[in-house]
Amino acid sequence: MKDDHDEALLAEIATLLDSSEHAGHPLHDALQRLYRHHCEQRGQMHRLIDISDRYQLLAMEARQVTQQRYERTLRRQRKLSRISDGYQALMHERNKALRQASTHDPLTELPNRRLICERLETLVAEHRAFTLALLDIDHFKRINDHHGHDVGDRVLVALTQALSASLREYDLCARWGGEEFLLLLVDTDRNEASTIVERLRSRLSKVTVRTGQQTISVTVSAGLSQHRPGDPHHLTVKRADQALLKAKRAGRDRILSDSL
């Protein structure tokens, strides 16, 4: 509005200056100089405004480019951290699976010999009391021979489940060999262990597996040995093995302790 007013005023002055009617007027020259000076100033001011506008536009574009770059980088970083999180979770799962595979038996999912030996070493180092029971299925070969290896596997798994369900939380049952299981009874003497394992033996004899029209059940023999302070754990295992051999020779389906 103000610009329109200025334009009109300037146009009016220009007309007055151009008019021959005022050519000799005493203010004519002074007004003309003032008019030119004003026009120059005005032109300069418009150029400055133009420069400032362009500068602001450039600054805004630069800000937008920076913002876009920043957002792109942020998106890339978020994507990278999602990939990294996924990768770490995968590694964690793989490590867990590897640890499980190296410490557990795949068929029965029981701890394996390595895991129970680690536990035994720790107990020995900590001077803890424990009793071992080595359990062996009686005449297991006959099951495989008569019903096939798959049925033998099912018998192993069924016995394992019954075993695991019967143990106390702080005990450990490992698959020691083919049809052998090693029970670790912590803070337990041989008398107490004998009662526990006798109960287990009785329970395992009631486990059944059906195949076709037949129902299979098995008996187990066990050898017990109480750990002697100062002995390495493998000697305690060896004594349990000797007691197991005696139980087998004595007719199976029984528990014998090693001689103290």
Ligand X SMILES: Nc1nc2c(ncn2[C@@H]2O[C@H](COP(=O)(O)OP(=O)(O)OP(=O)(O)O)[C@@H](O)[C@H]2O)c(=O)[nH]1
Of positions 33, 78, 141, 228, contacts ligand X by CB under 6 A: 141
E-assigned strands of 30-138?
130-137
41 versus 214: smaller Cβ distance to ligand X: 214
Neighbour count for residue 22 (Cβ, 10 Å): 13
Name the one range near ligand X by CB under 6 A: 74-82, 93-101, 125-133, 141-149.
141-149
119 versus 252: smaller Cβ distance to ligand X: 252
Residues in contact with 218: Cβ distance below 8 Å, sequence separation at least 6, in sequence order:
137, 138, 139, 140, 143, 155, 159, 204, 205, 207
Of positions 152, 174, 184, 193, contacts ligand X by CB under 6 A: 152
Q: Least distance (Å) from ligand X to the CB of residue 209?
A: 11
Is residue 22 at the binding interface for ligand X, with CB under 6 A as the rule? no
Of positions 120, 134, 137, 222, contacts ligand X by CB under 6 A: 137
Query: What is the rounded CA–CA span in Å between residue 46 and residue 53?
Result: 10
Site string for ligand X, 49-88 (x = CB under 6 A): ----------------------------------------
Of positions 13, 248, 253, 254, contacts ligand X by CB under 6 A: 248
Q: Least distance (Å) from ligand X to the CB of residue 138?
A: 4
26 versus 212: smaller Cβ distance to ligand X: 212
Query: What is the rounded CA–CA span in Å between residue 72 and residue 78?
Result: 10
Name the one range near ligand X by CB under 6 A: 41-49, 89-97, 137-145, 228-236.
137-145
Distances (CA, A) of 25 to 16, 20, 138: 11, 10, 139
Q: Which helix (H) or strand (E) holds 167?
A: none
Query: What is the rounded CA–CA span in Å between residue 70 and residue 64?
Result: 10
Max CA separation in the chain (angstroms) = 150
Q: Which of 201, 244, 242 is nearest to 219 (CA)?
A: 201
Q: Which of 152, 157, 129, 130 is nearest to 139 (CA)?
A: 152
Residues in contact with 122: Cβ distance below 8 Å, sequence separation at least 6, in sequence order:
none
Is residue 176 at the binding interface for ligand X, with CB under 6 A as the rule? no
28 versus 246: smaller Cβ distance to ligand X: 246
Of positions 171, 179, 241, 258, contacts ligand X by CB under 6 A: 179
Classify strands 255-257 and 220-226 as parallel, antiparallel or unpaired.
Answer: parallel
Q: Could you confirm whether 179 is annotated as catalytic?
A: yes
Would you tell me which residues interact with ligand X (CB under 6 A)? 107, 136-141, 144, 149, 152-153, 156, 178-179, 248, 252
